[in-house]
Amino acid sequence: MKRLWFYIKLYPYFVSRSVQARMSYKGDFILGVVASILMQALGFVFLWTIFQGIPEVNGWNFDQMIFVYGMSAISLGLNEFLFAGTWKLTGYVQEGELDRLLLRPVSTMFSILAADVTLHGLGSVLFGLAVCITSLVKLQITLSVGMVLFWIVSIACGALIFFAANMLMATLAFWVTDSQSAMMVLQNVSDFGKYPAAIYGKWLRILISFVIPFAFTSYYPAAFLLGISNRPIYWIGPVVAAMLCVTVAALFWRFALSRYQSAGG
């Protein structure tokens, strides 16, 4: 626990250093944030277009649907902002840079995660917050303090689920030439988490709930916050899913690292 607290205190320092470096190119920062907002806005427009002809989809109306979409955008944006270092793992392995990280007096995974942040992730966070707040206002829902705290925790859990999924795919770099391709495929699958799992067929619901649990980044906590369901899976599920995903990712990383041979080996 003491070691974990050490990393928790150290991580903001690395993030701030990376942000300072990125902010030296303010034009790139602004363009990145705007591009991220526009990408999320395209999905919003897609939803808006669909609901011009129908009042609801499998019991979900437009305002409820965009809350789910906003939840996913926030969690995904936080993951992109805080854990972008996972995308560099392939390069570290191929170029022999991982050997240098192994010599550091801190965890190798920590060094990889702290290596980079992508500021455009903040665009997704801002867009998601705006969409969620708009949804709550239109639905005339006022969240209690307890619900706001649950919202914050569920967003953090969502970011951890996205991180763990990316880390699992990135770790394949120890065996394949380019694990980024697998990460891109997984990112496409994560798009299903932007919409309520209730609108999908049985097998797709199972896939995004219990195999690759992207539904816990948005649908389940959103349904609880909107008062659609208070079943335990909707409020405890995001926490359990995040813990399991991070544990599996960490164990797979440890297994891969134990079998790593240096670039000169």
* pTM score, whole prediction: 0.91
The Cα 149–Cα 145 span in angstroms is 6
How far from chain centre, in Å, is Cα 8? Answer: 19
The Cα 154–Cα 147 span in angstroms is 10
pLDDT on residue 140: 96
Residues of the chain with pLDDT under 50: none
Alpha-carbon distances, residue 129 vs 49, 77, 79, 151, 156 (angstroms):
21, 11, 15, 11, 14
Residues 6 or more apart from 119 whose CB is under 8 A from it?
A: 19, 22, 23, 29, 32, 33, 81
Are the CB atoms for 123 and 35 separated by under 8 Å? Answer: yes
pLDDT on residue 26: 67
pLDDT on residue 44: 87
